[in-house]
């Protein structure tokens, strides 16, 4: 049985969502396989295609002017060339065809084509599976991104899940949320009756239960695991809703901003490609100028060397935390890191033995969080998710 831990959360997140949808510039990372579709200097509409890599297309979240390639942004702590688009704040969209069918009336081919066009990363999923898990549990105990999305879009999300499972003939659909997420438990319980195919599963709030490696064996039986399953997070479902209902590509997203260096935590709706610097400047009341930035959770997240980095679709949270002067101390051999590792690894052994098998590590960061000597295991792990 996998182990999980209850984490005390001292941060408050405001219930209202704040919008930051008017950045001056949008930046998209470029690599050698990416083709820029418009010419430098061109004026583009919002939702126009801007980049192509392989079959996948990236769309512009603003209308404006293609400025060109710049080399001052940093992604994953490495300077990365980016395409800059200057926002003209008109939000102009080309006329596009409206949705002609109810979202549960598409054929499998039609549905797959829409997913490939508007949510290309979700087109890599094999939808010919019997089971699906929809994860509505935030991946970090200090995030509120997923619970906010469920709160705002409850019935739309259910409608989309129903359309996907009906079209792809999926037999078991499990929608997981935290049992502490009381608003959403009520919300979903009140709405789910119309969708007998969808089973709501309340999961005891503990970390890192939302990781696929732990959640799947918790909610599916052995036979279902052997049959195979699709695993989607709730923001994927929102993106699918926008694609199916509005033919809208992924151009916006919700993220949690929190940490002890800002007045109050909040969830913001913003555009993909906005610089984290601009988000911090425009959406945060900074209490302490001496802070470090962590993306994607306080436990499993990565410390960023700079906020001069564009918001990519894989970022669900940023935390601004005051600099902590506590340095690593000597291991006291308490055994906690080993005892609490949810997949049964011995992080202390892994740190001390280069060749130790770390392939099962799910990068949850629990060992670093739990260690009384403040030992940082992250550089020594590097499991399959890294």
Contacts to ligand SF4 by CB under 6 A: 331-337, 341-343, 345, 347-348, 361-367, 371-373, 375, 377, 381, 383
| DSSP-assigned beta bridge partners for residue 134 | 175, 232
**280: which 2 tokens?**
């911090």
Write down the least CB distance from residue 2 to ligand SF4, Å. 10
Write down the least CB distance from residue 353 to ligand SF4, Å. 13
| Cβ distance to ligand SF4 smaller for residue 140 or 236 | 140
**133: which 2 tokens?**
């898990």
Burial of 117 (C-beta count, 10 Å sphere; 0-12/13-18/19+): middle
| Cβ distance to ligand SF4 smaller for residue 127 or 142 | 142
Write down the least CB distance from residue 300 to ligand SF4, Å. 7
The answer to whether the beta carbons of residues 220 and 131 sit under 8 Å apart is yes
Q: What CA–CA distance (Å, rounded) separates 364 from 370? A: 11
Q: Determine how β-strand 43-44 pairs with β-strand 64-70.
A: antiparallel
| Cβ distance to ligand SF4 smaller for residue 128 or 356 | 356
Q: What CA–CA distance (Å, rounded) separates 194 from 72? A: 51
Write down the least CB distance from residue 218 to ligand SF4, Å. 16
| Cβ distance to ligand SF4 smaller for residue 46 or 340 | 340
Q: What CA–CA distance (Å, rounded) separates 211 from 143? A: 14
| Cβ distance to ligand SF4 smaller for residue 67 or 343 | 343
Write down the least CB distance from residue 335 to ligand SF4, Å. 5
| Cβ distance to ligand SF4 smaller for residue 1 or 100 | 1
Write down the least CB distance from residue 69 to ligand SF4, Å. 37
Q: What CA–CA distance (Å, rounded) separates 311 from 211? A: 22
What residues have CB less than 8 Å from 113, skipping those under 6 apart? none
Q: Determine how β-strand 64-70 pairs with β-strand 198-203.
A: unpaired
Write down the least CB distance from residue 328 to ligand SF4, Å. 9
| Cβ distance to ligand SF4 smaller for residue 248 or 348 | 348
Write down the least CB distance from residue 355 to ligand SF4, Å. 16
Could you list the beta-strand ranges (E) of 187-235.
198-203, 229-233
Residue 245 sits at φ, ψ, to 5 deg, of -90, -35
| Cβ distance to ligand SF4 smaller for residue 253 or 348 | 348
Question: Would you give the distance in Å from CA 296 to the centre of its chain?
Answer: 8
Q: Determine how β-strand 252-258 pairs with β-strand 317-322.
A: parallel
| Cβ distance to ligand SF4 smaller for residue 311 or 337 | 337
Burial of 359 (C-beta count, 10 Å sphere; 0-12/13-18/19+): exposed
| DSSP-assigned beta bridge partners for residue 238 | none
The answer to whether the beta carbons of residues 144 and 235 sit under 8 Å apart is no
Write down the least CB distance from residue 367 to ligand SF4, Å. 3
């Amino acid at each position: 049985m996998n182990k999980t831990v209850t984490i005390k959360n001292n941060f408050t997140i405001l219930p209202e969502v704040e919008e930051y949808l008017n950045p001056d510039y949008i930046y998209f990372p470029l690599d050698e396989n990416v083709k820029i579709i418009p010419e430098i200097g061109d004026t583009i509409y919002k939702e126009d295609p801007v980049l192509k890599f392989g079959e996948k297309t990236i769309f512009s979240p603003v209308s404006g002017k293609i400025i060109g390639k710049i080399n001052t942004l940093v992604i994953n702590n490495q300077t990365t060339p980016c395409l800059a688009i200057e926002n003209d704040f008109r939000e102009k969209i080309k006329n596009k065809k409206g949705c002609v069918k109810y979202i549960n009336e598409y054929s499998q081919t039609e549905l797959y084509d829409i997913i490939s066009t508007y949510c290309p990363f979700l087109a890599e999923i094999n939808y010919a599976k019997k089971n699906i898990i929809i994860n509505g549990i935030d991946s970090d105990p200090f995030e509120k991104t997923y619970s906010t999305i469920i709160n705002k879009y409850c019935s739309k999300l259910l409608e989309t899940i129903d359309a996907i499972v009906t079209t792809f003939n999926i037999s078991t659909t499990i929608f997981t949320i935290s049992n502490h997420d009381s608003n959403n438990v009520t919300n979903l319980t009140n709405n789910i009756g119309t969708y007998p195919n969808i089973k709501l599963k309340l999961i005891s709030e503990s970390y890192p239960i939302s990781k696929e490696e732990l959640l799947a064996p918790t909610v599916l039986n052995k036979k279902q695991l052997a049959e195979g399953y699709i695993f989607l997070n709730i923001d994927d479902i929102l993106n699918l809703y926008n694609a199916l209902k509005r033919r809208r590509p992924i151009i916006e997203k919700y993220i949690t901003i929190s940490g002890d260096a800002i007045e109050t935590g909040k969830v913001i709706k913003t555009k993909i490609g906005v610089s984290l610097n601009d988000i911090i400047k425009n959406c945060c009341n900074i209490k302490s100028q001496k802070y470090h930035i962590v993306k994607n959770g306080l436990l499993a997240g990565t410390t960023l060397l700079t906020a001069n980095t564009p918001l990519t679709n894989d970022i669900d949270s940023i935390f601004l935390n005051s600099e902590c002067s506590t340095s690593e101390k000597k291991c006291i051999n308490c055994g906690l890191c080993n005892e609490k590792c949810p997949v049964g690894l011995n992080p202390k052994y892994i740190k001390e033995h280069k060749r130790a098998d770390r392939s099962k590590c799910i990068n949850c960061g629990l060992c670093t969080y739990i260690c009384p000597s403040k030992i940082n295991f992250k550089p020594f792990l590097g499991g399959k998710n890294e």
